[in-house]
Amino acid sequence: MTWKSQEGRFTEVVRKSDEKNSGRNVLVSRLRTAAIVLAIVFGFIYLDVKAPLAGVPGLWMLPIYLVLCLGTAREATSIVRSAWQLPVFWSPSVVLLSAALPAVPELLRALGAADLLDPSWTGVQGRLAIVCIGNWILASYLGVRALAVYQDRQEAIGWLTSLGLLMYISVATSLWWILRQVGDPDAAMFNVVGIAMVTKIADSGAYFAGKNLGRTPLAPVLSPKKTWEGLLGGWIVASLAAVIYFSSLGNSHPPRSTWWPLVGALLLGTALTWFGLLGDLIESMMKRSGRVKDSGGTLAGLGGIWDVTDSLIPAGVVGLIAVVLGWI
């Protein structure tokens, strides 16, 4: 064996060792950040259940809810501006107003002004109406801002993009707040935690199954590392988690039949897996168009806030449908 071939083998061994160590460091960083985030979130959940702020369920969760929504919107805006050089017409205040719309009944209660709102507005339909009407007003405001500076089609496309991002991120996230307020407060929090948990278990299951068993690319252009084997693994563990959590640990509705709690949990696990994948791929499409690996650098090891909320955005919609239809 020549000296050059020995040097080549040594270089390859060193490269593989560096890649292995780098992967291990990323995993450690990811787990550390996830542990810190979960500790903060569960701390607020405990306060919200055991000591509701001003006696109103949900208010302790409002800061986390708004930070996630605002952080996701900010990172999406950054990607759009760098990818397409388009103007974005909404500001953080617009995002916060949009996200806070479903919380209007709770905010009025906390201020002692609950009588200003008819009780019918506190149900699912009433809150959805507040979200729709409020966001239409905000969309009109964005249109006025676009008209004021209009020069060419860039402003028109920017208005449409701003509107699309606001609706996709803020309106879908609003449904998480509505989930927190549906029915008994403790049961509602139980559902919120379970839906978020099953969604992230699907993500993790898909990641590990794809890494160890993945062979068939799922979306090679958008996300080359995603595989059908990974999706199957994520679906299996998510469905199992949903069955254990919702069917075995609790059920907020009288079962339609002996099998209904199991069927409902399986339906939820399946829907969260597929729609979580949709949210992930939509974010991947945006990141690829902006030529960025992560949506941001806010969370060490996890990337940006949108990298965490990508699958949770559609999960709120799926979760509310599941509760309304009595799946859980």
Nearest alpha carbon to residue 72 among 230, 306, 277, 234: 306
Q: How many CB atoms lie within 10 A of CB 217?
A: 13
Q: What pLDDT digit, counting tens, does each position of 156-200 carry? A: 999 999 999 988 998 889 999 999 998 899 999 999 999 999 999
pLDDT for 255 equals 56
Inform me whether the pLDDT recorded for 320 exceeds 90: yes
Inform me whether the pLDDT recorded for 23 exceeds 80: no
Q: Sorting pLDDT into bands at 50, 70 and 90, what band is 14? A: very low
Q: What pLDDT digit, counting tens, does each position of 217-264 carry? A: 998 888 888 999 999 999 999 999 999 999 877 654 555 566 777 888
Q: Mean pLDDT, the chain, as a whole number?
A: 86
Give the start-to-end residue ranges of the domains of the chain: 53-181, 184-328
Inform me whether the pLDDT recorded for 120 exceeds 90: no
Q: Sorting pLDDT into bands at 50, 70 and 90, what band is 118? A: confident
Average pLDDT over residues 54-82: 90
Average pLDDT over residues 21-42: 76
In percent, how much of the chain has pLDDT > 70?
A: 89
Q: How far is CA 100 from CA 4, 116, 184, 230, 311, in A?
A: 65, 17, 21, 36, 21
| Residues 328, 194 contacting (CB under 8 angstroms) | yes
Please name the amino acid found at residue 264. Answer: G
